[in-house]
Amino acid sequence: MNDEGAWVGLDIGSLTVKIVALNGEGRRIFAKVVPSGRSGVQAAKALLAEVATQARFVVVTGYGRVCMEDADLEVSEITCHARGAKHLFDDVGTVIDVGGQDSKVLRIGPGGRVVQFAMNDRCAAGTGRFLEVMAHALDVAVADLDDLAARASSPVAISSTCTVFAESEVVGHLASGRRVEDIVAGLLDGIAARVAGLARQVGVQPRVVMTGGVALNKGIVSRLEALLGMPVVAPQECQIVGALGAALIGLEKSR
Strand order in the sheet with 114-120: 114-120, 103-108, 94-98, 208-211, 232-233
d(CA 120, CA 110): 25
Cβ–Cβ < 8 Å for 201, 105: yes
Give the number of C-alpha atoms closer than 13 A to the C-alpha of residue 180, restricted to the C-beta side: 13
**pLDDT for residue 65:** 82
**Nearest Cα to 210, choosing from 219, 198, 221?**
221
Handedness of CA 191, 79, 64, 23 (dihedral sign): positive
Residue-wise burial string across 85-109, b where 16 or more C-beta atoms lie within 10 A, e elsewhere: bbbbbeebbbbbbbbbbbbbbbbbe
What are the residues facing 139 on neighbouring strands? none
d(CA 164, CA 71): 36
Give residue 84's identity as a one-letter amino acid code. G
Peptide bond into 65 cis (omega under 30): no
d(CA 244, CA 20): 6
Per-residue pLDDT of the chain (255 residues; tens, 9 = 90+): 555 789 999 999 989 999 999 999 999 999 999 999 889 889 999 999 999 889 999 999 998 887 788 889 999 999 999 999 999 999 999 999 998 888 999 999 999 999 999 998 666 666 888 999 999 999 999 999 999 999 999 999 998 878 888 999 999 999 999 999 999 999 999 999 999 999 999 999 999 999 999 999 999 999 999 999 999 999 999 999 999 999 999 999 987
**pLDDT for residue 82:** 98
d(CA 97, CA 81): 8
**pLDDT for residue 199:** 96
The pTM (predicted TM-score) of the whole model is 0.93
**pLDDT for residue 101:** 85
- Domains detected in the chain: 6-122+194-254 (3.30.420.40)
**pLDDT for residue 122:** 64
Coil/strand/helix, residue 68: coil
